[in-house]
Structure 1
Amino acid sequence: MSGDLFGPIFVPDAFREAVSGRAWLQAMLDAEGALAVAGARAGLIPPEDAETIARLCDADLFDPGKIGHRGRPAGNPVPALVRALTEEVSKASEAAARHVHRGATSQDITDTAAMLVSRRTLDLILAEVDGIAGACARLAREHRDTPMAGRTLLQQALPTTFGLKAAGWLVSVLDARRRLREVRASGLAVQLGGAAGTLASLGDAGLPVLREFALELGLPEPPLPWHTDRTRVSGIGEALSLLAGVLGKVSHDVVLMAQTEVGEVAEPSGEGRGSSSTLPHKRNPILSVTAAANARRVQDLARTLGAAMVQEHERAAGAWHAEWEALSDALALAGGAAANVREATEGLEVHPGRMRENLDRTGGMLLAENVTTLATHKLGRLEAHDLVEAACRRALEEGRHLREELLQDERIREALSKEEIDAALDPAGYLGSAGTFVDRALKLYRAEGSP
């Protein structure tokens, strides 16, 4: 595993720590402590014993590496953790030690820990997504009427505005945020079913313990154990994959617009950022590059989580085990992508002058559709189309501006005056409903609440 070398390049420390071995260990211990408290509230465990167990559920008392190595024979870390916790509790109270892990199975603790780790990391991700939404809203508002070339199949098509492009980013970010919020609010739940999902070892106290377990952890109580119903874990993966796709799109746009030959935007600069080991002049859009890399990996990991939904009877033989690191990595990489896109969009340098230069690169042909539309009123659509198409062809062949060819065509001059041709070739006059679309995106942003 090469996480120490490559990990920091893609994932900030806060996200690495949120899904670290220690974070998972503390989440498992939080589950064990909550289970003891729940047992006490249900009358199964003396309150003082539950308090002793909960007090010692502290990750600082244990070594994640040792727990992991000792968990290898069992195929998961919980048996080793339970043994270590029991030994620690027994130092304080032999009576309390007898109640450690009472009524639970290894998957109960691991799955509940997964929900806790996911909740904490989703909170971090959502904070970054809020920042991205705010940055996109600002860009859309400030550049509502900034014309630029709209590109289809990487070729200039028609004029649009940078505000509309940023508004497109904004709406997709809001869609992804909405899904993440849904998962955070209602897609998580505690896991407690015992060995085969019946809580038989807890007798009549099973349901009260489950209820108190959920209350203690602040997670929803599921209608029944979900040991082999992996919709929750897969749902987290799906929400992260959606976010990854959105962030990948934004990153890709920034990379393309930051190309030397395009030069319409630039990422925020910083010491050493975007530098090359051999080319001192380079300013690579590295925030977007690494965010795009993260996005691809998140989507692959989400597929792993989706594939793990097919499980055997009441306990999976391998599919459950495939989730742990895939979920951790998906959360961390999605967080890394979000952090980078937030930094890129909040500090994005926009160059309206270069956008205008690029609009003029086609010598007016970007507005050929507009000329055709206006000429249609007097010439009919087919004749107008043919005349303008012929003028475009001559302009290309002779390296001239479309305006010159249009002015030299008698039939077009009969249909359009010089002033009308000039107006038709002005990108700012052929933006359609771009401004209104921007306004609608900003209204949606305000309606959904800004941080």
Structure 2
Amino acid sequence: MTSQPSATPASTADRQPLGAAGIALGPLDGRYRSAVEPLVDHLSEAALNRNRIHVEVEWFVHLAEGRVLPGLEPLTDEQKAGLRAIVTDFDADSVAELAETERVTVHDVKAVEYFIAARLEGLGLAHLKPLVHFACTSEDINNLAYAVGVRDAVEQVWLPAARAAVDTISAMAATAAETPMLSRTHGQPATPTTLGKEMAVFVHRLGRQIARVERTEYLGKINGATGTYAAHLCAAPDADWPALSRSFVEHLGLTWNPLTTQIESHDWQAELYADVSRFNRILHGFCVDVWSYISIGYFAQIPVAGATGSSTMPHKVNPIRFENAEANLELSCALLDSLGATLIESRWQRDLTDSTSQRNIGVALGHSVLALTNVTKGMGQLQVAEPVLAEDLDHNWEVLGEAVQTVMRAEAIAGVEGMDNPYERLKELTRGQRVDAARMREFVQGLGLSDDAETRLLALTPAAYTGLAARLAAEFGGR
């Protein structure tokens, strides 16, 4: 008889709280931080605030240089450098100061305004405090700050990661361009291809989506509380405010949106997220295919020294890179799809649903970047098992039925006798049964084909029946 434990398990109330230790709630800021850390510099809350300061400072300089108001004079080079240093010197202490200010203002953009204003006296610009956030609504600053952050995150982090992942697939497409492989349509043996050509299909598809993302227009606006420049005109009726707005937005490296409500409409974000999501889904299909090829032995995984595949089955090397990528691509798509659907709607001239939504852009792109990292690493741990591919082809001579019946059709058109019902005759030979090399050649020799046609078919093997696959892989599988 076994003894029972005398003590009851500790209740959850007795456990030490982990949150106080600064431990991350989500995996992107915890377990997977190293893979997505570059995004922090563009899409974190701190990065958003730094970008807000950047927009506010540049607007301050823009107005001063344009002398749009009486009493404004061009800034000295030292003053402009000092203003821009507020952005470049933004650090952990700055983050803490902003947070303390926001606890008082209970408004994030107002805290940014006060943060900048507090530094003007040291630059000899205290008299220009009213110029900070001049004629702006919060969304004038936010839409531009987000556009800058998303642009830099996509161009400096997501696109390089996407290109790196696709390059690994392209490299396999090149090295395996002539490696014959049995195709499977509807999961069944079909006309052979080459492994490289099948990899090249994904390179081509993913490359088109990358090109779409590369063409993204990052829109921005700065036109006041409801997009009418009303306050601007009251303060400076002679200024060409639309022209000033356009030149400023373009100065930030963005595309000017001339007509908005209080908010920039976010349509460009929906377009971008749809493109990234489509890329994700294509890559998801690739991961599923690679996983399946691993399961039937077409790929061998290179064991990593010291790594455990299964906690109980020592022989296993799990395709974890591709499984992890699948899950993160699904999470990324779910968030990107939600953002795209949510952000293009706003009640009347403004609501704040986008405020919370946009704070998850980094999470959405983070899951995609994590997946890309796993695909890149996973591809580097694969070896093509050519003997397995060759054996599979040699066990499926019936796939040559397509070639034989098509040649019979051509022979019939050329006037060769005895080529009736080619499809039906090959169906009778091949459907529901295996056909080996001897049986297929015997069948071909009994057809009465022209000498040239018979010679071509007798020389054909499943491994040689790959058409232009190698050429297609070489021509279209690169980047």
Query: What corresponds to 1:391 in structure 2?
Result: 429
CA distance in 2, matches of 1:69, 1:356: 69
Query: What corresponds to 1:213 in structure 2?
Result: 248
Kindly tell me: are residues 316 and 361 of structure 1, through their superposed partners in 2, closer, same or farther at Cα, counting changes over 3 Å? farther
TM-score for the superposition, normalised by structure 1: 0.82
Q: Which has the higher helix share?
A: 1
Kindly tell me: are residues 393 and 166 of structure 1, through their superposed partners in 2, closer, same or farther at Cα, counting changes over 3 Å? closer
Query: What corresponds to 1:343 in structure 2?
Result: 377
CA distance in 2, matches of 1:293, 1:215: 38
3-state SS, counterpart of residue 56 of structure 1: helix
Deviation sequence 1:322-369 (CA, Å, 0-9, x none): 53134222222222233333333455422222211222344x223232
Deviation sequence 1:114-138 (CA, Å, 0-9, x none): 1111111112222223333433333
Q: Amino acid of the residue matched to residue 296 of structure 1?
A: E
Residue 434 of structure 1 pairs with residue 469 of structure 2:
yes
How far the C-alpha of 1:35 sits from its partner, in A, is: 1.5
How far the C-alpha of 1:150 sits from its partner, in A, is: 1.1
1:11–1:333 Cα contact (<8 Å) kept: no
Mean Cα deviation higher: 325-334 or 8-17: 8-17
3-state SS, counterpart of residue 256 of structure 2: coil
How far the C-alpha of 1:406 sits from its partner, in A, is: 4.5
CA distance in 2, matches of 1:94, 1:193: 25
Q: Give the total of aligned pairs.
A: 429
Kindly tell me: are residues 246 and 395 of structure 1, through their superposed partners in 2, closer, same or farther at Cα, counting changes over 3 Å? closer
1:211–1:221 Cα contact (<8 Å) kept: yes
CA distance in 2, matches of 1:237, 1:390: 51
Query: What corresponds to 2:147 in structure 1?
Result: 115
Query: What corresponds to 1:314 in structure 2?
Result: 349
CA distance in 2, matches of 1:65, 1:147: 63
1:403–1:422 Cα contact (<8 Å) kept: no
1:140–1:166 Cα contact (<8 Å) kept: yes
Residue 99 of structure 1 pairs with residue 131 of structure 2:
yes
CA distance in 2, matches of 1:144, 1:4: 37
2:405–2:426 Cα contact (<8 Å) kept: yes
2:418–2:447 Cα contact (<8 Å) kept: no
Residue 197 of structure 1 pairs with residue 227 of structure 2:
yes
Kindly tell me: are residues 403 and 270 of structure 1, through their superposed partners in 2, closer, same or farther at Cα, counting changes over 3 Å? closer
How far the C-alpha of 1:171 sits from its partner, in A, is: 0.7
How far the C-alpha of 1:96 sits from its partner, in A, is: 4.2
Query: What corresponds to 1:54 in structure 2?
Result: 84
Q: Amino acid of the residue matched to residue 202 of structure 2?
A: W
2:294 to 258, 269, 272: 258
Matches within 5 A, 1:52-201: 52-57=82-87, 58-60=89-91, 61-63=93-95, 67=99, 70=102, 77-89=108-120, 94-123=126-155, 124-183=157-216, 187-201=217-231
Kindly tell me: are residues 369 and 10 of structure 1, through their superposed partners in 2, closer, same or farther at Cα, counting changes over 3 Å? farther
1:223 to 243, 254, 258: 258
Residue 236 of structure 1 pairs with residue 272 of structure 2:
yes
How far the C-alpha of 1:385 sits from its partner, in A, is: 3.6
How far the C-alpha of 1:147 sits from its partner, in A, is: 0.5
Residue 35 of structure 1 pairs with residue 59 of structure 2:
yes
Kindly tell me: are residues 285 and 167 of structure 1, through their superposed partners in 2, closer, same or farther at Cα, counting changes over 3 Å? same
Mean Cα deviation higher: 169-178 or 372-381: 372-381
2:98–2:115 Cα contact (<8 Å) kept: no
Matches within 5 A, 1:265-276: 265-266=299-300, 269-271=303-305, 275-276=309-310
Structure 1 spans left out of the alignment, 5+ residues: none
1:28–1:110 Cα contact (<8 Å) kept: yes
Q: Amino acid of the residue matched to residue 105 of structure 1?
A: T
Deviation sequence 1:2-29 (CA, Å, 0-9, x none): 2456661794322344422222222222
Q: Amino acid of the residue matched to residue 243 of structure 1?
A: F
2:394–2:463 Cα contact (<8 Å) kept: no
Residue 358 of structure 1 pairs with residue 397 of structure 2:
no
Structure having the higher Rg: 2
CA distance in 1, matches of 2:41, 2:318: 28
1:78–1:106 Cα contact (<8 Å) kept: yes
1:149–1:159 Cα contact (<8 Å) kept: yes
Q: Amino acid of the residue matched to residue 237 of structure 1?
A: Y
How far the C-alpha of 1:239 sits from its partner, in A, is: 1.8
Structure 2 spans left out of the alignment, 5+ residues: 1-24, 234-238, 412-416
Query: What corresponds to 1:291 in structure 2?
Result: 325
CA distance in 1, matches of 2:118, 2:292: 58
CA distance in 2, matches of 1:354, 1:372: 28
CA distance in 1, matches of 2:464, 2:210: 35
Q: Identity over the aligned pairs, expressed in percent?
A: 21
3-state SS, counterpart of residue 189 of structure 2: strand
Q: Amino acid of the residue matched to residue 281 of structure 2?
A: G
3-state SS, counterpart of residue 193 of structure 2: strand
TM-score for the superposition, normalised by structure 2: 0.78
CA distance in 2, matches of 1:277, 1:72: 52
How far the C-alpha of 1:279 sits from its partner, in A, is: 3.2
Query: What corresponds to 1:372 in structure 2?
Result: 405
Mean Cα deviation higher: 411-420 or 145-154: 411-420
